[in-house]
Amino acid sequence: MPFASAAITFFLVFRQTRPTMGKESEPKATVRTRKFMTNRLLNRKQMVVDVLHPGRSTVPRSEIRSKLARMYKTTGDVVFPFGFKTAFGGGKSTGFALIYDTLDYAKKLEPKYRLERQALIEVKKTARKQRKERKNRMKKARGTAKAKLASATKKKVK
């Protein structure tokens, strides 16, 4: 009996002191930047980003974005990280990041797919299969019939 109670209390204490596997609190990720350059022509700062994350899988881009925003004292929406590759064995990843002066410049200069990642822009594309089928249909037509097909099924990009 006393043994059981001791065991229970021990278990309870142990449970309390067990480290919580939080998303960001316990596993560390250190972000370091290298080759920092201020690109006045494109109104941005560009750098190579090194992330050290031992014992953890590759850090998601959103986390890196928030960390970089804190480091360079800007908002997160003008920070665009990309190209992250993890070294063999894990623990370290290297990628690039661009920090724009304003969001306007970002919207003008960044490629569409990166803007889409950060939900700043929405590109509506028709399904890939539909596009290919349309192309094949157009191959069969000639002249004005072709132009008709082109305008009929074309969907605008927002």
Q: Which positions lie near other proteins, rule CB under 8 A?
A: 34-35, 46, 48, 83, 85, 96, 98
Separation between Cα atoms, residue 84 and residue 96, nearest integer Å: 7
For other proteins, give the closer residue by CB, 85 or 137: 85
Scored b (16 or more CB within 10 A) or e, 106-121 reads beeebeeeebebbebe
Q: Which is nearer to other proteins, 96 or 153 (CB)?
A: 96
How far is the C-alpha of 105 from the C-alpha of 110, rounded, in Å? Answer: 8
Judged by beta carbon, residue 72 or residue 96, the one nearer other proteins is 96
Nearest approach, Cβ of residue 9 and other proteins (Å): 52
CB of 149 to other proteins, least distance (A): 32
Q: Which one-letter DSSP state was computed for residue 81?
A: E
Closest approach of Cβ 22 to other proteins, in Å? Answer: 31
